[in-house]
Amino acid sequence: MKDIAVWGFSWVPPFAQGLVRDLRVRWALEEAGLAYESRWIGTDERHSDSYRRKQPFGVVPALDSDSGTMIESGAILYAIAEQCEALMPSRQRTETLAWMFAALNTVEPPLWHLFVIDQLHNGEAWATLRRPGAVEEAKARLAALSAWLEGRDYLLGRFTAADILMATVLRFVRHTNLVAEYLPLDNYLKRCEARPAFQAALRNQEAGYLRNAPVAA
Amino acid sequence: MKDIAVWGFSWVPPFAQGLVRDLRVRWALEEAGLAYESRWIGTDERHSDSYRRKQPFGVVPALDSDSGTMIESGAILYAIAEQCEALMPSRQRTETLAWMFAALNTVEPPLWHLFVIDQLHNGEAWATLRRPGAVEEAKARLAALSAWLEGRDYLLGRFTAADILMATVLRFVRHTNLVAEYLPLDNYLKRCEARPAFQAALRNQEAGYLRNAPVAA
């Protein structure tokens, strides 16, 4: 994979900074030691015909390279990991992909729901009424995940692309104490976030937001 | 892959019949012409230690075979499709996986949210207040998907494993008229559901529910 460019939003409000899904792709590229450029798209521009031809749903990330455009963070990470033993042991591809889907389809939904309630609809009557049930559903998944992580440094023992997805999913509830309630889970997230590749990815994403921040009136 | 057994719930109420995620695995196996047995698990039993050792979150499906246990419908379908050109052209693996993740991580969340509102929390105050916004979010994704499907019989032109995931995701709002509002989408779902392999998978799942139905008092 050559001539890589990652598409992300040019700016998002502070509550969303460090959570937008292009972070996953940046992190994987940093782990793999692959150079990349950044492409920034505004929230208006993302519904333009030209961007929709790249990403049919008008969301981020997308990745351009010499082999064309790829969409969906999960699929992009798998494609990067296929070329990088450090992100996916060739003998454990099925298991890695299983945990990648577990992150995005089993753990993300209840955590994202809580993010939507607290960060996008905070104070609305439905959100206040729904919140206790949503917390219970999130805790059920976090408890199961924490039990799995007991005695394991990472989901498959060693670090893989699945940990990039799972850690970024857990960050959706960083505004709560939920992860901290489960010691193995709390240690796991800290272990993931301490990786130099994560820190580099975060700095890269933040650099874009700083450059593109709206000018105060 | 040999000696295949698919795990599903032994019985679910009528509103959920035909929507439980083991249907995806059955459908893929039918398309691939692979024989399989069914294993049924009760809602109590799924939180047992023995089932949690198989599936850490206590959900379905899981697939047992001569190569061990696999979890997560998306990952199971990819593993089946890797061995079956009819489910994934070998030259289009990245594109197929992208649409598999699009189905489960971009289209499923707003449709599942509407399913939860209407089928699991119908009549509750939060659900009534939240519904209009949830419908708008679902429609935004359905409109984008419908635009993509114009002039295409299936997501990649020809049928792939991604269509199995997308069609089963669209079925989560079968209790509404939302899909019917978009002609390309409506035709697409009917085209998917008309496939003999889908019909066979549905019959197999229903047969379990009939055999395991609770006895009326």
- Looking at residue B44, its pLDDT comes to 84
Q: What is the ipTM of this complex?
A: 0.97
Is A160 within 8 Å of chain B by CB? no
pLDDT at B217 over 60: no
Cross-strand bridge partners of residue B71 = B62
- Contact with chain B for residue A147, Cβ under 8 A: yes
Q: Is the peptide bond before B61 cis (omega within 30 degrees of 0)?
A: yes
How does DSSP assign A97-154, residue by residue? HHHHHIIIIIIHHHHHHHHIIIIISTT-HHHHHHHHHHHHHHHHHHHHHHHHHTT-SB
Pairing mode of beta strands B62-65, B68-71: antiparallel
Contact (CB<8Å) A102/B70: no
**Which of B103-112, B119-128, B187-196, B206-215 is predicted with the least confidence, judged by mean pLDDT?**
B206-215
Q: Where are the domains positioned within chain A?
A: 5-86+197-212, 90-195
Q: Check: CB of residue A159 under 8 Å from CB of residue A194.
A: no
- The series of mean pLDDT values per 10 residues for chain A, 217 residues long, is 96 96 98 97 89 95 96 98 96 97 98 98 98 98 98 98 98 98 98 98 96 80
Q: Which CATH fold topology does A90-195 show?
A: Glutathione S-transferase Yfyf (Class Pi); Chain A, domain 2 (1.20.1050)
Neighbours of B68 (CB within 10 A): 9
Lowest mean pLDDT among A130-134, B29-33, B48-52, B127-131: B48-52
- pTM for the full model? 0.97
Superfamily for domain range B5-86+197-212: Glutaredoxin (3.40.30.10)
- Cβ-defined contact of B98 to A70 (cutoff 8 Å): yes
pLDDT band at B18 (very low <50, low <70, confident <90, very high): very high
Q: What is the spatial order of strands in the sheet that B62-65 belongs to? A: B37-41, B5-9, B62-65, B68-71
What integer pLDDT is reported at residue A198 of this predicted model? 98
What is the residue type of A19?
L
pLDDT, tens digit (0-9, with 9 covering 90-100), for B57-70: 999 999 999 999 99
| Under 8 Å between Cβ of A112 and B108 | no
Report the 10 Å Cβ neighbour count for B151. Answer: 7
Average pLDDT value over all residues in chain B: 96
Give the gap in angstroms from C-alpha A190 to the nearest C-alpha of chain B. Answer: 22
| Residues of chain A positioned with their CB less than 8 A from the CB of B124 | 129
Round to whole Å and give the CA distance between A75 and A52: 18
Name the A residues in 71-90 with CB < 8 Å from any B CB: 71-76, 78-79
